[in-house]
Amino acid sequence: MAGRRLVAAALAILFIGGWPHEVRAGSQEPPSQAPLAPTFSHAALDRIGDYIRNEVATGKIPGAILLIQQHGKPVYFECFGVRDPDTGQPMTPDTIFQIYSMSKAVTSVAAMMLVDDGKLALDDPVSKYIHSFADAKVGVDLSDEAGQYPLKLEPLRRPITIRDLLRHTSGITYGFFGEGAVTKLYANPQLYAGDFDNAEFADRIATLPLADQPATRWNYSHSTDVLGRVVEVASGQSLFQFEKQRLFDPLGMSDTAYYVADKANWPRIARSFPVDRFRVAGIKDPTLSRRWESGGAGLVSTIGDYARFLQMLLNGGKLDGKRYLKSETVALMTSDQIGPETGIIHDPFYFPGPTSGFGLGFAVRTSPPPNTTWPLGEYRWDGAGGSFYFVDPQDDMLVICMVQAPTQGGRIQLALKTIMFEALGKGLRKD
């Protein structure tokens, strides 16, 4: 059965429009450690597929697409279920997903390309590019027993930097987790009112108080949205124009954008069950045109497009003979930037988890979970729609699971990673 499924996957890769990118990715020379990396057995791949099929059969998700790519080539690729539970259209490799916070990696790479170009520096103050941040203040919550939340505004001890935006230590926050006066300000729907662009949104964020002094706490936030505006100012282009010119077109990411402009492609958009149909951080239906190009959560993409992007990173910034980032830049981005030596506190809502730090755009594995030998240096993130990815340099492997099921993604991610690493001999130790 596994053999038949892999043959079907190979045929899909060869013949479905836009998907042969993964085959081209295999033209890259693998890292020197690649021959030593363990590989998957057919039985292991069967277990992985069976798990997702059961998720579909039991009505937990409408459908999904899973890609496991090792040594630059797909070793497993399968579509499951339907992409739209209302129409019953089957999931296909060209399905377009709202990838939400998986957009953050793309924006972070765009910014680091400008660092490589000498147009940005990591320790530049954000106010150099967005002048409204020169007046930023920190909101100190003076909550009392009566439930009142007055704010005291304090000056910054040091400016917010580009590095802070990349590693979520800017003091900016989101409005959808935690409590307190600052959080409530970020939760105000007026923050997303009207048809605004990146410049206006960054200025709106700049008027809000910071939750913390810069470089004191990891706090998941609109930092990457502000970073998108920095990319615009430093490049002289809109965020999408820059990404299209420097990343999307050269990498062949033809379906990656901030909304689906062509009506002919609207039926390709993945839809969730009704229970999961909610909007996150101002991001609306992907068929609606808008001026805001949210670098933190706005992109739509396909699994083939995103695999090209991740393979470039796994190759150290290069794909098909073209260099996008310096290898040392990729190494910096995918190493922990908030370790104990920095004195940066982990927020109570520290989404990377206790065995991970955070680099410049990615969670980074710094120690294996208890009783496992999960690989160090694995970097990853996910999106509010349920999709996720991880890149494992030790095993020269990347994994992407695309799904439109916000309430199920975290659980599925943990289960699949457990199965995969057990299959590679890195699961629970029996000693």
| Residue 137 CA: distances (Å) to CA of 141, 151, 200, 208, 211 | 13, 11, 19, 8, 9
Q: Collapsing DSSP states into helix, strand and coil, what is residue 109?
A: helix
Q: Which of 108, 76, 89 is nearest to 329 (CA)?
A: 108
What pLDDT does residue 347 have?
Answer: 83
Q: In the chain, count of helices (H) and strands (E)?
A: 13, 16
CA 72 to chain centre: 20
For the chain, how many structural domains are there in total? 1
pLDDT of 270: 97
Q: What is the DSSP letter of 91?
A: P
Alpha helices (runs of H) in 303-383, residue ranges in sequence order: 303-314, 327-333
Closest CA to 382 of 352, 426, 415: 352
Q: What is the pLDDT of residue 382?
A: 96
Is 426 within the bounds of a domain?
no
Q: How far is CA 427 from CA 33, 304, 418, in A?
A: 21, 28, 7
- Identify whether the C-beta of residue 406 lies closer than 8 Å to the C-beta of residue 278: yes
Question: What is the predicted pLDDT for the residue at 30?
Answer: 39
- Does 303 map to a domain? no
pLDDT of residue 142: 80
181 domain-assigned: yes
Residues 6+ apart with CB under 8 A from 424: 38, 39, 40, 395
Q: Does residue 136 lie within any of the structural domains?
A: yes
Domain contains 359: no
182 belongs to a structural domain: yes
pLDDT per position as a tens digit, 5-41 = 443 444 344 333 334 333 333 333 334 344 467 888 8
Residue segments in the chain with a per-residue pLDDT below the cut of 70: 1-36, 144-149, 279, 427-431
pLDDT of residue 280: 74
CA distance linking residue 94 with residue 256, whole number of Å: 11
Give residue 167's domain range: 116-235
Q: Considering the domain boundaries, does residue 197 fall inside one?
A: yes
* In-domain check, residue 369: no
Return d(Cα 117, Cα 107) in angstroms, integer.
15
According to the model, what pLDDT value does residue 137 have?
A: 97
pLDDT given for residue 329 in this prediction: 98
